[in-house]
A and B are shown apart, each in its own frame.
Chain A
Amino acid sequence: MSMILETKGLTMRFGGLVAVSEFSASIPQGSITGLIGPNGAGKTTCFNMVTGFYKPTEGQVFFEGRELTGMSPHQVCRAGIARTFQNIRLFGNETAIENVMIGSFVRQRTGWIQSVLMTPMSLREEREIRDRSMELLDVVGLAGIAQEKANSLPYGAQRRLEIARALATKPRFLLLDEPAAGMNPQESLELMDFIRTIRTRFNLTILLIEHDMKVVMGVCEHMWVLDYGVTIAEGGPEAIQSNPKVIEAYLGEEYVKYA
């Protein structure tokens, strides 16, 4: 199986603090994988290194065989990687559909001069973008509230809108930072289905950070476990659940609770 994303020895130091040390992972094309670990284990830091928000102190990131290390976030997105944020970052004053349209901008061919001159090409493309954004809203079940301002939407809708917006950038690799945060069990269940659906429909590879073990174990085919920035285990759900190191470091009580 070919690997879509590979990281080699990714290390992030903030001053004297080592947030992530030697993170190496190979993620197969088309898979759904997870990154887990206790709070402060360095999961989001990994996301930030892959998506260009942090420049890793050491190590490299390869996407589809091409090195991404040191690229800025917008270049990483252009290359085909999209992400969501742990603490939802929507464009609050814009409507839901505008949020998705903004996601499409990175793939837009006609520029601002054509918009001002109202060339037929630009009008056609803007119409296509609008239609496609509407479709994406439909996929995440928000078509009915396309004209609502993003910051007036309920929490769950905001999470889904953020995913729709990420999809609008036409990614091949999607990083979800705690997609199930704040959801009830029923919603989490739906989310699992939803993640599988978009994988197939948009031909995606998905990497997610998640605390909800039901979601992680239910949807991820493979996962990495971080603790204090160090990768302490990797493997499939069963292997992880029976790994003594993981149980000790992280799952412990929680695992017992969920088992």
Chain B
Amino acid sequence: MNLATFIQHFLNSLTLGSLYALIAIGYTMVYGILRLINFAHSEIFMLGAYLVFWGITLFHLPWPVAMVASIILVAGIGILVDRIAYRPLRDAPRISALISAIGVSFFLQNVAIVFFQAIPRQVYRPAWLENPMIWGDVRVLPLTLFVPLLSLFLMLALVYIVYHTKAGLGMRAISKDIETSYLMGVSVNKVIALTFGIGSALAAASGIMWALRYPQLQPIMGAIPGFKAFIAAVFGGIGSIQGAVIGGLALGFIEIMTVAFFPDLAGYRDAFAFVLLIAILLVKPTGLLGVKTEDKV
């Protein structure tokens, strides 16, 4: 493998990794607070992508406007999902909310099939993202730089919210101890709603960029990236935002580099993440940055 191809693989890994990371953040934030695997997160990702292209083709919105509108709308959907399908189950056994989440995931997926139809759609890409930049042997799509940069920007914004705002303090408090937070006067439901909103917005951004990168829309497009991003979150240590970012990037690199170096394994690409998951759960269930909690007898 020469340097030029390696650089391309590297940038591809970075792109894929940051997309996983953005989705993983939503999983990890919700899990950190509610101990819930939000299965519907994959569909939030998918809706983000669809709404942009809907906005562009149906309402002829300019690109950036459609993107912002979609992100805001999807954040709202995320909050709504929590309000309707998860909040009533806060006191129920943990698995009940999980089953509800699985139900919501299938619901949104099939609503998308009803509205947008199951056939894959091509995505129109603005020219400035598509004309390759060439440095010697290295050909790079502007997109492969745009995705990691925008992701980085979003992650920094998130870090600011979580560590430098009152709402962020609330999130951190709830993830430490939800009951005490109630008692301390944190408006728990509002903070949880905000968490869903932020997580969904990031997933929508990821979905939009995913659709640009692999230019196709499909109602089931969220399922596989969603699972993988969840695995990335577990890998990084569920509950930890830094962990989600590291896990997402790591998974992106593992997938692309393994196939780059061992092309025979290309057919198994979708299984890597699951093998990684099972390995992680067996060796270090708390992930890279997770904290162990003791069982009380």
Q: Determine whether A and B are in direct contact in the complex, meaning some CB atoms lie less than 8 angstroms apart.
A: yes
Q: Is B297 an interface residue (CB 8 A)?
A: yes
Contacts of A54 in B (CB 8 A): 297
Contacts of B297 in A (CB 8 A): 44, 48, 53-54, 85
| CB proximity of A81 to chain B, nearest CB, Å | 15
6 contacts between A and B (CB under 8 A): A14-B294, A44-B297, A48-B297, A53-B297, A54-B297, A85-B297
CB contacts under 8 Å to A, within B239-297, are 294, 297
| CB proximity of A52 to chain B, nearest CB, Å | 10
Contacts of A14 in B (CB 8 A): 294
Q: Which 6 A-B pairs have the closest CB atoms?
A: A53-B297, A48-B297, A14-B294, A54-B297, A44-B297, A85-B297
Query: Roughly how many angstroms separate A234 CA and B264 CA in the complex, as a whole number?
Result: 71
Chain B: CB-nearest residue to A54: B297
Chain B interface residues (CB < 8 Å from chain A)? 294, 297
Query: Roughly how many angstroms separate A35 CA and B294 CA in the complex, as a whole number?
Result: 24
| CB proximity of B230 to chain A, nearest CB, Å | 30
DSSP class of B's interface residues: helix, strand, loop or mixed?
loop
Query: Roughly how many angstroms separate A85 CA and B296 CA in the complex, as a whole number?
Result: 12
Contacts of A53 in B (CB 8 A): 297
Chain B: CB-nearest residue to A47: B297
Query: Roughly how many angstroms separate A142 CA and B297 CA in the complex, as a whole number?
Result: 26
Chain B: CB-nearest residue to A89: B297
Contacts of B294 in A (CB 8 A): 14
Chain B: CB-nearest residue to A85: B297
Query: Roughly how many angstroms separate A54 CA and B294 CA in the complex, as a whole number?
Result: 11
| CB proximity of B182 to chain A, nearest CB, Å | 22
Chain A: CB-nearest residue to B294: A14
Chain B: CB-nearest residue to A73: B297
CB contacts under 8 Å to B, within A1-24, are 14
| CB proximity of B100 to chain A, nearest CB, Å | 22
| CB proximity of A160 to chain B, nearest CB, Å | 21
Bits for A31-53, please: 1 = Cβ < 8 Å to B, else 0: 00000000000001000100001
Chain A: CB-nearest residue to B295: A53
CB contacts under 8 Å to B, within A47-67, are 48, 53-54
Chain B: CB-nearest residue to A44: B297
Query: Roughly how many angstroms separate A256 CA and B6 CA in the complex, as a whole number?
Result: 81
| CB proximity of B297 to chain A, nearest CB, Å | 5
Query: Roughly how many angstroms separate A48 CA and B295 CA in the complex, as a whole number?
Result: 12
| CB proximity of B293 to chain A, nearest CB, Å | 12
| CB proximity of A150 to chain B, nearest CB, Å | 18
